[in-house]
Structure 1
Amino acid sequence: MHGYATRETREFLPRPYVIAQHLVRKLDQLRVNDPAFFWMKPHAKVTVVSSKHKITQVTILLDHASDIPANEVLRLCLERVIEPIMGDISGLEVRVNPYGAFRGGEFVTGSGSTGRKTAQDTYGGLIPHGVSAICGKSPCLPDRSGVYMARFVAKDLVRSGVADNVLVNVGYTGGREEPTFLQAQSGDGKNLSGLLGVYDFRPSAIIERLDLRRPIYQRTASYGHFGDEQFPWERRETLQMTGVEGTTAMVDSVAGPVTSHPHSTSSPARKAAGVRWGTPASCHPL
């Protein structure tokens, strides 16, 4: 499982992915609220291409009624979606349904046990991601809780000023709750793994800390799992972390573990590191 955060945007996500999120949200808002978009169906795909920190291409695939002309679809998308978000689009290659009307984007062709692509749910394929889908998985499985915790920790470290971007990698194996692999690295190659000791990556502790047993997952069905501060793995509650390789960091906490585990908040190692926690959040059944 992988978690990533960057100072590139206020969402702590890669800029092309954030732009794609904004474009999809705008399309959905217009479909629901604007009569001019009566022809649009509830399925769209957006691809944003970046080269050398510059957005070079935007592609939009829309499922829509058959009686709307293609040039009208392009005009409305440019005027009401792309230009308001992108601003000056000179030099930007824009494609809207480049192969003709986008058809069959509903359950007939999109159903399956995996659900939406993991790349779309996480970082848009710009950052490594696991092979297991997140949507539909129980938070009791590290496939889901581990991904959320890795993102939570990466975002904490970037917010703290440790690095401008951080990638956290965590691996698990059957029959063992502790991760078998745990690593953090900055974009310039600095090893930040020594800062991970104050975090508890056991799935049971992650569920407790992020309060993952609540029915909060309907919102993850669209626009991805990251960037929305309503999700507990995206929120910030500040506590002071000191004494780790001479680093002082402001770490976000939603809830603290309640057991005296070697990686729990009540362990002597964490107390020595100066970590302070709030009251653990209550845990509700799914």
Structure 2
Amino acid sequence: MRNNGDFLFTSESVSEGHPDKVADRISDTVLDAYLEADPEARVACETLVTTNRVILAGEVRGPEAVEKTLIDRARAAIKDIGYDQEGFSWKKADIQSFLHAQSVDIAVGVDSSSDKDEGAGDQGIMFGFATRETEHLMPAPIFYAHNILERLRDHRRSGNELGKGLLPDAKSQVTLRYVDGKPVGVTSIVVSTQHEANMSQDRIREMVRETVGEVLPEGWTCPEDSFYVNPTGIFVIGGPDGDAGLTGRKIIVDTYGGAAPHGGGAFSGKDPTKVDRSAAYAARYLAKNVVAADLADRCTIQLSYAIGVSRPLSVYVDLDGTGRDVNEERLGVILNEIMDLSPRGIRKHLRLNRPIYTKTSSYGHFGRVPDTALDNFTWENTDLVESLKSALNR
């Protein structure tokens, strides 16, 4: 997304009850179970969900006792999301696990030894992004798309008048108008939310309209004829009963809503030795600190890795013409100096070898507020600002 001119830009989000997000949640539940038992566990878990059926597949390396708990943990995750319907119920769903031991060919290239640092778990490119559009340094369209669904979730879980009768599956889409590259208002909103059969669409529209009003800045609400709620009408059958879900299918929802590049790798179900996940977190962390240090209004960072090689092959910085007397090439060198960007270095710096991933599985991996008690979302911290400034002034 360009940083100047007048244009419209749209991003979408999906709720925790969307079939793909149910799959992400279960995969990250499996990951957290292994990391809770062993911080050095290896996990690559894929989940399929459909009508009253859940299938786990992939590779793991960790305590055998964990595997015996996974079906119960998956069932608890489904219950927490809120599914106890005829076509998809935490009580009745048939859950099967086909997880097996990690390939020794992958392990030999990834594990460290006395004479060799740990290598990346795969080749790939990862991107991080930050922009001044919101206080959390996220693109505004995805930020508000997430917030609308989070607020609907909060109302649904509390059982108050703005959530009574709503069910877990939902999608949102927000289109913003930009003037001279800055967001100034909403031109259209689309929200589809699953609901109980006896609810009127007029009532659902009122509930969504009021919820959206709680989220958007004052004066940003779109005209009524551009406000779409359940455009196709009734939405009772939803979640995995309405559509099959798979881990890792919502990578743009998980990142920047299309406002920045994505390397293509998904996050959920992967332990942090997989640079698809950990290096994407590191790239967001670095980009956010660059913007927080007032070095630029926008920052895109790309990292690249080769399987079995510990250091990144490249560190690319693009300030999109918004930098303040900063040489992008020098900034890339400095970022590589002030943070160890090897897989082990990233995990240590951001404290990633902990069971912190279940909460990342819905409403975006970025732009979240760290919970000091859980010490999660550490990649959203801006504690590199002073180090960056000092290094640039050398």
TM-score w.r.t. structure 2 length? 0.58
Alignment deviations for residues 4-50 of structure 1 (CA, whole Å, 9 cap, x no partner): 01111110101111111221111011101133222111121111112
2:173, 2:191 within 8 Å by CA — same for their partners in 1? yes
Deviation string 1:35-74 (CA, Å, 9 cap, x unpaired) is 3222111121111112322321111110111111111111
Higher relative contact order (CA 8 A, sep 6+): 2
> Which residue of 2 is the match for residue 282 of structure 1?
none
The answer to whether 1:221 aligns with 2:347 is: no
Give the Cα–Cα distance (whole angstroms) in 2 for the partners of residues 91 and 226 of structure 1.
29
- Offset from partner CA, 1:135-182 (integer Å, 9 cap, x none): 111111100011000000000111111101100011112232222222
Q: Which residue of 1 aligns with 2:223?
A: 91
Which of 328, 332, 335 aligns to 1:196? It is 332
Q: C-alpha displacement at 1:242, in angstroms?
A: 5.0
Q: What 5-or-longer segments of structure 2 have no aligned partner? A: 1-125, 371-376
Rounded to whole Å, the distance in 2 between the matches of 1:121 and 1:71 is 31
3-state DSSP of counterpart to 1:55: strand
**8 Å CA contact 2:187, 2:222 repeated in 1:** no
Compared CA separation, residues 67 and 34, structure 1 to 2 (3 A): same
- Partner residue, 1:71: 202
How much does 1:241 deviate?
3.4
Aligned AA (1:236): T
Residue 28 in structure 1 maps to residue 164 in structure 2: no
Question: Distance between the aligned counterparts of 2:282 and 2:344, measured in 1?
Answer: 12
Cα distance, 1:105–1:173 mapped onto 2, change above 3 Å: farther
Does the CA contact (< 8 Å) of 1:44 and 1:61 recur in 2? yes
Deviation at 1:134, TM superposition (A): 0.7
SS at match of 1:178: coil
Q: Does 1:130 align with 2:263?
A: yes
Aligned residue pairs: how many? 245
Q: Please identify which structure carries the higher helix content.
A: 2
Q: Which is further off, 144-153 or 19-28?
A: 19-28
Counterpart Cα distance in 2 of 1:102 and 1:201: 46
Q: How does 1:1-286 map to 2 (within 5 A)?
A: 1-36=126-161, 37-52=163-178, 53=183, 54-79=185-210, 81-86=211-216, 87-88=218-219, 89=221, 91=223, 93-108=226-241, 109-112=243-246, 114-188=247-321, 192-197=328-333, 198=337, 199-230=339-370, 231-238=377-384, 239-242=386-389, 244=391, 247-248=392-393
Q: Quote the residue 1:251 is aligned against.
A: none
* Structure 1 residues not aligned, in runs of 5+: 249-272, 274-286
Please say which of residues 187-196 and 137-146 is displaced more in the overlay: 187-196
One-letter code of the match for 1:126? A
For residue 302 of structure 2, what is the amino acid of its counterpart?
Answer: N
CA contact 1:31–1:41 (8 Å) conserved in 2: yes
Q: TM-score, normalised by structure 1?
A: 0.79
Letter in 1 for 2:234: A
Q: Show CA shifts across 1:109-131 (max 9, x none).
A: 2422x345011111112211121
Tell me by how many angstroms 1:104 deviates. 4.4
Of all paired residues, the percent bearing the same amino acid is 31
Q: CA deviation at 1:103?
A: 4.8
- Tell me if structure 2 keeps the 8 A contact 1:118–1:130: no
Distance 1:182 1:229, change over 3 A: same
CA distance in 2, matches of 1:117, 1:157: 27
The amino acid across from 2:165 in the alignment is W
CA distance in 1 between counterparts of 2:320 and 2:200 reads 46
Counterpart Cα distance in 2 of 1:193 and 1:120: 30
RMSD between superposed Cα atoms in Å = 2.0
